[in-house]
């Protein structure tokens, strides 16, 4: 669903030069509003209690409280907050860990500003931004690590309706809510309701978890 108001964003990174670079890169985007910046995890959590953004750009390696602990605390208090990890690390285990803990996207600090902007819009509209890094990490997780169900619901087979199966397949094809609504002839609000119901059925907290379930059970190729 298209956004009609400015997206309030914040950034947490212990390097001022990087924070300044991000602010300069995103400044021309009229639909973004920078609320604040934090220099470490402790500062981040404090500022969240004062003014909550719609989306947070966050590093992993920070003093006081690192990004791993910060995201765990944030997800307990701010379920609807979108979190994009911006890190120097492209390690697949770290990417999988951050996505499992509740990140909506994972980008490296070498990412082009245009892609950062695209990731922001996608996370706000469709909850997750899956790039090549994340897709590769997720696939490797599925193929090589057992026990994925601990993070993404039960292994017990779930009976989906024909409509739900179609919608799940379309989600796996990276279709937007608007695109799915046109294909299955249902309103976007109904699609969102069905999507939430499917997450509840499999015990997934996020769309990423639902996709993982679909892939694991060969519903999504």
Q: pLDDT digits over 62-108, tens only?
A: 988 988 899 999 998 998 999 999 998 887 888 888 888 889 999 99
Give every CB contact of residue 220 below 8 A, 6+ residues apart in sequence: 168, 169, 171, 172, 211, 214
With b for 16 or more beta-carbon neighbours within 10 A and e for fewer, the 68-82 pattern comes to bebbeebbeeeeebb
According to the model, what pLDDT value does residue 188 have?
87
List, in order of start, the domains of the chain with CATH numbers.
Answer: 7-141 (3.40.50.2300), 146-216 (1.10.10.10)
Q: What span, in angstroms and rounded, lies between the C-alpha atoms of 52 and 106? A: 21
**Angle subtended at Cα 104 by Cα 68 and Cα 9, rounded to the nearest 5 degrees:** 90
Q: Could you report the per-residue pLDDT of 126-171, keeping only the tens digit for each?
A: 888 888 777 777 666 655 544 444 444 445 567 888 899 899 888 8
For residue 57, give the nearest of 9, 102, 99, 21 by alpha carbon.
Answer: 9
CB-CB contact of 209 with 154 (8 Å): no
Q: Where are the beta strands (DSSP E) in the chain?
A: 7-12, 32-38, 55-58, 82-87, 105-108
CA neighbours within 13 Å on the CB side: how many for 103?
Answer: 26
Give percent of the chain above pLDDT 90: 45
Whole-prediction pTM: 0.66
Q: Tokens 């978890």 map to which residue? A: 209
Contacts by 157-163 with C-beta closer than 8 Å and gap 24+? Answer: 157/217, 158/201, 158/202, 158/213, 160/198, 160/201, 160/219, 163/194
| Number of Cβ within a 10 Å radius of residue 95 | 25
């Amino acid at each position: 669903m298209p956004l009609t108001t400015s997206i309030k964003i914040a950034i947490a990174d212990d390097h001022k030069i990087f924070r300044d670079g991000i602010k300069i890169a995103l400044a021309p985007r009229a639909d973004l509003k920078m609320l604040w910046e934090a220099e470490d995890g402790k500062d981040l959590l404090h500022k969240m209690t004062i003014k909550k953004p719609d989306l947070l750009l966050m590093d992993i390696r920070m003093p006081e409280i690192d990004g791993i602990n910060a995201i765990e605390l944030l997800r307990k208090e701010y379920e609807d907050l979108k979190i994009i990890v911006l890190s120097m690390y492209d390690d697949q285990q770290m990417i999988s860990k951050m996505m499992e803990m509740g990140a909506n996207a994972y980008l490296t600090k070498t990412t082009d500003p245009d892609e950062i902007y695209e990731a922001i819009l996608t996370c706000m509209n469709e909850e997750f931004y899956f790039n090549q890094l994340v897709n590769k990490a997720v696939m490797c997780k599925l193929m090589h690590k057992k026990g994925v169900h601990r993070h993404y619901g039960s292994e017990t087979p779930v009976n989906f309706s024909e409509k739900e199966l179609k919608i799940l397949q379309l989600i796996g094809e990276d279709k937007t809510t608007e695109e799915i609504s046109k294909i299955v002839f249902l309103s976007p609000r109904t699609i969102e309701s069905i999507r939430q119901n499917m997450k509840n059925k499999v015990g997934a907290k996020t769309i990423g978890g639902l996709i993982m379930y679909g892939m694991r059970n060969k519903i999504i190729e």
